[in-house]
Amino acid sequence: MPHKMEIDTSDTQKTSSITKLLRTRGTPLLTLLPTARDLYTGTNELFFPRRNEWLLEWLVQRLKEDEKEAGRAARAALECWTFLGELLEAVEPSVVAGTLRRHGFVPLVGKTVEEIKAGGTEGTAGLLQQITQVLGVLKQIAGKESYVAAAMKGSPEACAAILGGYLEVAGKLLAGEQEVDNSWTEAATELWRGSVWGVSNVKKTSTTWAENCLRPASALLTTPNIDEQLKTVLESMIAENIFSYDILYPVVAGAKPGPPKVATTDLIPLLASLRSEDTEMSGTESASSNPHLPVLFRIAIDSQSKRSKTDPEVIGALFTALLSVIPGLSLDAASPSAEGAEVIADLLAVLIATNTALPSTTLSQIITRFASLSTEVPRWPLVRAVLAIDFDSFLHPLVPELTDALFTALSKSTVDKQVTEVLELVVEGFVKARDITGFIERWSTALTKDGGVWRSDELARIFASKVETALTAPQIVKIAKQLTEEKQWVVLDALMRGIRREDTENQLVKAGVLEEMVEVARKEQGEWMAWRMLVRIGDLAPELLEKAVKDAVKTLGEKKMKMETVFASEVLMRVVEETEDDEAVKGVHMLLELADKAFKSGQSWNGKVTEASKENFGLVIAVAVTGAHLPVLEKIEAGHRNKFVDNLFQSALMTKESVEGIVDSRQICKTLVGRPEVYEFPAVKEAILSALIANLAPFAIPTEEMAAKVTKPPKVKGDAGAKYDFIVSCLLQYPLEALKRASREKILDACLLLDIAGYSSARPLMFKLWRMSATSAFMATDCQAIQAWFEHSGVAPSFRRLLSHAFVNRDQDKTKEYLSSLLELTASTVKSKKLTAGELEMSWAVITEFWPHKTENDAKSLEKIRGKFLERLAKLLEAGKLEPEHLKYWRDVWALERDDRESAVKLVSRVTGNIIKSWQDGTSDSDRVVEAVGLVCAVSESIEDMMNTTAFTLVAAESISESQQSDLLHHYKNLLIRLPISVHRELTLQLVNAALSPEGTSHTWSLVHLLITSTTKPDSPEELALSVDVFSHIHSLLLLALPSATTSASFLAITDSINTLLRSHPWSIIQHNLDTTISSLTLTASSSGPMIAEDPDTLFTAITSILSSILALHRHRIRGRYHLVISLLQVLMTNLFTPRLSRKKTEKAIHPPWIPYSAPLSITSARALARVLQTFCDPPVSTVRSHRSELTDSERSKERKMVGNVVGPVLETFVKRVLEERMEGEVRKELTQGIEKVLEVLGREGVRRVTARMGGEGRAVVRGLWTEFGKGRGERV
């Protein structure tokens, strides 16, 4: 912007000179603006009576009349509109009214909006916000002076153009992923509504609105990221101006008396703007999609349903009118287009969603002209929509030609999602018409002509789900008998799939229908559907299948591996599962032999029976056995069972990574091991375990050979690692309780060898197995194995579990000998001058595990081992070898006795010195830093030590990753546990002071939180008094700091600390601090609150959380101080209302600085306050508990009565804010749940007392609330 000194201001010390300068038309307005502002603020100290009035008229005139680039730049400048808003507030309303009348403010806004629409979106949001603020100022003035409102009123055409232009700009902003503020929409909408206020010609106003606003409003409604409030406003305006009663029911001159009739004569012209758009887009993708038409149709239907029950004739008229928008689209078109069919289908989808219907004649026209049932590609979405709206359009007896056309079209189609949906609606239609037998007849007829969809599994599934809801048991028996005679296996199969009731099954058996089915099916052995029917019968009456066993064995003997072979196999397994038929068992043996041969090929299978072959036959049978016929494996001979399981797992090992959607041996094995039912069959369980252990070869060897193999284990060669991954993953799924002790020990021995050989992935399995004792495992009997095992670091967790079982069985001679040998081995190990990583880990694990269990016999030996181990570690650390493991080992072993602290302090000093140096050099290692903190924490004792340790910890926290912070805090917490109370309290006070200082960080607050949560109530009176003094002081410091917090993080840290004190340590809260807490919260939530510009919802809920803690745990202590709670609730209630856009300079702010206008509180905050109101007004029994044990409901009633006497001001605040401010609909809905509790506790008399102090508007609001909540509905309050 040009600076004011760039123009000639040499003679601006006179009023005439400066007004002459400002009236210079040749100088751009933006250049003159600084001079004008100086005049407004009095900087040039001129005597200029009524200067503000003069400046207002000058600015409005220049903004409106300036043209060309300079004028457009001025109207797009935020400073011009800001200055205008200030001037409007500074002058008298009468001057404002006169200025607006003379120069026309609405045209100025219209011109500005047109220029915004023509430009880009950069800076648009800020400009719209500033214009809205100016309109907000005018609205406030007009609310007090009616003649200002009259001066603001523009013509409907101008205001409609402004609204339409704004909607186009909003569409651009949303398309650019920018936000559209609801206040902008409200301002533009109010301009339009004000312009048509009192206009009786509805048709004219609707036409004006439609020409300017319908197209952009429709486009906005199809924008995915549109705001709900904006969407509601647009839908309301469309319903009011396009689909109003006066438009749909026009008055016809000379019409006969009677009920009005719907007509589209006025509606179709209103939609003309949409038609012009589509004409422009003809031939484009948008022309065929027309996303706005379904939206408009839904709005039209909703607006009609609110008036009365929807009439199909009215819906038909709306439907026809909307179709007229698309050029050339008509229900009477000679050659309907595909695009037209898509549009109609979209509109029909709206009818389905709103549960409305079109006239049957209209639906018939749609089917006849647009469904294309006689073509190769019928329009299934359209057919599906019509069936969903009114299935009689296709399936009524009066339209047999349409029914035939539909079934013919389905016969020619292939199964896909659309066809499946149509089939489902067709079946549903016949069920609703109670003509399921008619559908069966048509289905059977279609099967004789052409299979296609009629043989599909999708149709069978749909029909099966309707069988027992559409047919009675006698009807099912009759139909089943008829279908059996006709050998309609497809329909019969679907019928049998749908039978679930025991009564129906019994009637089928009693009538002999199932037996007849078996006989007929046996004669059709070459028909796979007949075999499938036998499988279905096996689910109902497996004993009837014994006659078919020989037929099944014969089919298997043909070795053709067709679909009938698969179903014949199912028949055999079903018979074996439910009966004791020896022939069936032999048949299953034959079946498993065939499967064993197929396993060798290692094929995969897509799960479809139609794709079964010789190559994948083993997988087909494995899926059947493991998925549905596990008892078969338990019943057959052990040799066949073991061979089948072994071959299955061998095939799995030959299979590479599984592919999603494809069945292979690997998937089958994992599913088998993971099924709980498997472990109910002992023989199957053992067969699986034997196969898994066998596949651990060559590492699964007898225990007596382990000693030789430990020193020289087999190697894991090539891809063998993948093999062991699979076996280990299966064994990890195997339940521990299903493993016998011998098997556990065998697996442990194999895992030990695998680990020694370098395969560490077996460790999770070892860790799991050591949950139970396995003292005969080789690693629990031979110490040399342990030493070899520890050659690979990281085995300590499993080793510790081993030792825990050893200590339990310490009385046994073998275990005693083993533990003694282990100590001797460790003693000799730590004497070595150079220890490997594995030896260090083993020594550390032995010492720390043995120490709690040491006896008189081994105490001296163990102490020597500990001393020698610390000596070796100290040398390593002094040499600068600060490996994280070394630091950890030294800390854990030294902490067992905490002796020779002087040497320990020196060692720690060297370590910390090295760490500090690495920070300076930029070479620090985060793992090493974390362990160094643990080391420092281990040796700290005095308050001086603690302060140094805390400082070191805070610096360390800055140098490590977020994921490692928990480890660092864990070390610090271990230190706090063993601190004396006096040191703990002093440290807490010092750290809180540090956190509240400008140098405090989030890490400081983390330590503060840890200190407060780790506090325990002392037993002695002296220590208790000390603790109360310290924590009272800390509480006071936190309360003083809360209203002046500078960041959201510090605010939340303070509130969290206060909340922790209130909830976890109520014994430390004194009465004064409790009262001050409520007062501090009130101050924080008021206009004197902290200046924080982020996340207001989180800050608000933090405040309500503290109030909830007080009401839950300290209620009995604030009964005489409810006035403090009421004040806080009033302030919190006010915060939920959106701050006003602008205020007079003399008007005091009521919202805290941390709630900006652009981000008002959401339903999260409303829900939090509603919960507080509910707790306050309707206290749970636990919150009113006194020191007496005899708690009764009367105490709760007394509490409610006390609250009812004081809670009235909360209701008054709510009503006052409802009248003066605004609140989002969802927020108000959530808050009213709390207001309802206020009304309940007040009662009718209490509400009368409150409303007696209100005006008429306030009483009307309360009356509405009372009625809404169903209390005294219709009564005056």
Residues 643 and 723: their CA atoms lie apart, in Å, by 20
How far out from the chain centre does Cα 187 lie?
Answer: 35
For residue 658, the model assigns a pLDDT of: 63
Query: Residue 601: which pLDDT band, with cuts at 50, 70 and 90?
Result: low
What does the pLDDT look like over 361-376, one tens digit per residue? 788 878 888 888 888 8
Helix axes 360-370, 312-323, angle to 10 degrees: 40
Residues 1051 and 1063: their CA atoms lie apart, in Å, by 18
Asked if the model's pLDDT at residue 1016 lies above 90, the reply is no
Sign of CA dihedral 358, 362, 366, 367: positive
What does the pLDDT look like over 91-138, one tens digit per residue? 888 888 888 788 888 888 888 888 888 888 788 888 888 888 888 888
More confident residue, 932 or 41: 932
Which tokens belong to 854? Answer: 């040491």
For residue 352, the model assigns a pLDDT of: 86
Task: Kindly state the average pLDDT of the residues 139-153.
Answer: 73
**Which residues, in sequence order, are bridge partners of residue 663?**
605
What does the pLDDT look like over 398-415, one tens digit per residue? 667 888 888 888 888 888
Task: Give me the DSSP letters along 391-413.
Answer: THHHH-TT-HHHHHHHHHHHHHS
Residues 338 and 344: their CA atoms lie apart, in Å, by 10
Query: 3-class DSSP state for residue 55?
Result: helix
Query: Quick count: other Cβ atoms within 10 Å of Cβ 309?
Result: 6
CA angle centred on 341, ends 340 and 342, rounded to 5°: 90
For residue 1270, the model assigns a pLDDT of: 63
More confident residue, 797 or 1192: 797
Residues 758 and 193: their CA atoms lie apart, in Å, by 81
For residue 475, the model assigns a pLDDT of: 92
Single-letter amino acid, residue 465: S
Q: Which of 22-31, 272-281, 888-897, 1263-1272 has the highest mean pLDDT?
A: 888-897
Query: Residue 1170: which pLDDT band, with cuts at 50, 70 and 90?
Result: very high
Q: Please choose, from the candidates 1010, 1101, 1109, 1100, the residue with its C-alpha nearest in 3D space to the C-alpha of residue 1058.
A: 1109
For residue 267, the model assigns a pLDDT of: 86
> What size, in residues, is the chain?
1277
Say how many CA atoms lie within 13 Å of 492 toward its Cβ.
30
For residue 256, the model assigns a pLDDT of: 65
For residue 7, the model assigns a pLDDT of: 44
Task: Kindly state the average pLDDT of the residues 747-761.
Answer: 89
Query: Residue 847: which pLDDT band, with cuts at 50, 70 and 90?
Result: very high
Contact (CB, 8 A) for 772 and 744: yes
370-382 in b/e burial notation, b at 16+ Cβ within 10 A? bbbbeeeebbbbb
Query: Quick count: other Cβ atoms within 10 Å of Cβ 992?
Result: 27
Percentage of residues in the chain having pLDDT higher than 90: 21
Task: Kindly state the average pLDDT of the residues 1146-1154.
Answer: 73
Q: Who's near 488: CB < 8 A, 6+ residues apart?
A: 444, 447
Q: Which of 123-132, 149-158, 1041-1050 has the highest mean pLDDT?
A: 1041-1050
For residue 825, the model assigns a pLDDT of: 92
Residues 640 and 587: their CA atoms lie apart, in Å, by 12
Asked if the model's pLDDT at residue 597 lies above 90, the reply is no
For residue 1145, the model assigns a pLDDT of: 46
Asked if the model's pLDDT at residue 1275 lies above 80, the reply is no
What does the pLDDT look like over 257-306, one tens digit per residue? 667 788 888 888 888 888 744 444 333 344 444 678 899 889 888 888 77
For residue 319, the model assigns a pLDDT of: 86
For residue 58, the model assigns a pLDDT of: 86
How far out from the chain centre does Cα 448 lie?
Answer: 51
CA angle centred on 1200, ends 1197 and 1205, rounded to 5°: 130
Contact (CB, 8 A) for 655 and 643: no
Asked if the model's pLDDT at residue 233 lies above 70, the reply is yes
Query: Residue 10: which pLDDT band, with cuts at 50, 70 and 90?
Result: very low
Residues 752 and 758: their CA atoms lie apart, in Å, by 10
Q: Please choose, from the candidates 586, 560, 555, 558, the residue with its C-alpha nearest in 3D space to the C-alpha of residue 573.
A: 586
Asked if the model's pLDDT at residue 44 lies above 70, the reply is no
- The single residue listed with the structure tokens 């199964």 is 415
Sign of CA dihedral 267, 268, 272, 278: positive
Percentage of residues in the chain having pLDDT higher than 70: 92
Contact (CB, 8 A) for 1208 and 1250: yes
- The single residue listed with the structure tokens 């008021």 is 1086
For residue 255, the model assigns a pLDDT of: 59
Contact (CB, 8 A) for 844 and 884: no
329-365 in b/e burial notation, b at 16+ Cβ within 10 A? bebeeeebeeebbbbbbbbbbbbeebebbbbeebbbe
Q: Which sequence spans correspond to the domains of the chain?
A: 4-221, 242-390, 900-975, 980-1061, 1070-1277
For residue 634, the model assigns a pLDDT of: 92
What does the pLDDT look like over 186-200, one tens digit per residue? 888 888 888 888 787
More confident residue, 1185 or 814: 814
What does the pLDDT look like over 1067-1084, one tens digit per residue? 989 999 999 999 999 999
**Across the chain, what does the average pLDDT equal?**
84
Query: Residue 1139: which pLDDT band, with cuts at 50, 70 and 90?
Result: low
Query: Residue 229: which pLDDT band, with cuts at 50, 70 and 90?
Result: confident
Task: Kindly state the average pLDDT of the residues 706-733.
Answer: 87
For residue 284, the model assigns a pLDDT of: 38
Query: 3-class DSSP state for residue 719?
Result: coil
What does the pLDDT look like over 1233-1256, one tens digit per residue? 898 889 888 888 888 898 888 888
Specify the pTM: 0.66
Query: Residue 727: which pLDDT band, with cuts at 50, 70 and 90?
Result: very high
Task: Kindly state the average pLDDT of the residues 84-91.
Answer: 84
Lowest average pLDDT, out of 233-242, 1024-1033, 1176-1185, goes to 1176-1185
Residues 820 and 822: their CA atoms lie apart, in Å, by 5
Residues 43 and 38: their CA atoms lie apart, in Å, by 5
CA distances from 101 to 75, 94, 95, 199 (A): 19, 11, 10, 20
Omega before residue 1090 within 30° of 0, cis: no
**Measured distance between the N- and C-terminal CA atoms of the chain, rounded to whole angstroms:** 60
- The single residue listed with the structure tokens 């650390």 is 877
How far out from the chain centre does Cα 729 lie?
Answer: 32
CA angle centred on 473, ends 469 and 477, rounded to 5°: 120
Contact (CB, 8 A) for 314 and 356: no
Residues 495 and 514: their CA atoms lie apart, in Å, by 13
Asked if the model's pLDDT at residue 351 lies above 70, the reply is yes
